[in-house]
Structures are given as structure tokens and as C-alpha cells.
Amino acid sequence: MGEKVSATLKVLREIRDDVRGVRDEVRATNARLDGQVERLDGRMDSLETQVREGFLRVATEMVAVAQAIGATNDILRSRFDQHDAIRDHEDRLRRLEKRVG
């Protein structure tokens, strides 16, 4: 029976050694994954910053476009107002020319 116990112990010791090897591999894999996670976190932070800055630039440009549209609208209104005044003056001038001669 001693021989059977000895064989069993040998198998159990091999299993134990294999489990230790697997644990070491798992630890190494976890360490690599932790490194990957840290790099991804850094990249995500960088992307978040870039997106935030992009939104800020777009918002700033939208304000500039809105101001340009407002200025253009003011110019066009002014020209239309002048056009009406010029047409009124031309009509009055024609009437005066008819009276005078």
C-alpha cells in the first residue's frame, strides 16, 4: 500500500506544481492586462480632451457664423431701406420734372 500512496503523492505533487505554474501565468497575464488598461485609460482621456476641444472650437465657430449672418442681414436691410428711399426720391424727381417742364 505504501507504493500506492507514493504514486498518489507523486501525482498530487505534479498537479500542485502545474497549478503553481498556471497561477504564475495568470499573474503575468493580469500584469499585462493592467498595463493595457492603463494605456487605454490614457488614450481615452486624450480622446475625451480632443473631443471636448473640438466641440469648443465648433461652438466658437458657430457663434462667429451667427454673428456674420446677423451682420449680413443688417447690411441687406440697410440696402433695402436705401433702395426704397432711392425709389421714392426718383418718383418725386420725375413728378417735379413733369411740373417744371
pLDDT digits (tens, 9 = 90+) for 17-53: 999 999 999 999 999 999 999 999 999 999 999 999 9
Residue 100 has a CB neighbour count (10 Å cut-off) of: 6
Q: Distance (Å, rounded) from C-alpha 19 to C-alpha 29?
A: 15
pLDDT, average across residues 13-18: 93
Amino acid making up residue 74: D
- Stated pTM of the model: 0.52
pLDDT tier at 2, thresholds 50, 70, 90: low
Sign of the CA dihedral running 21, 27, 31, 32: positive
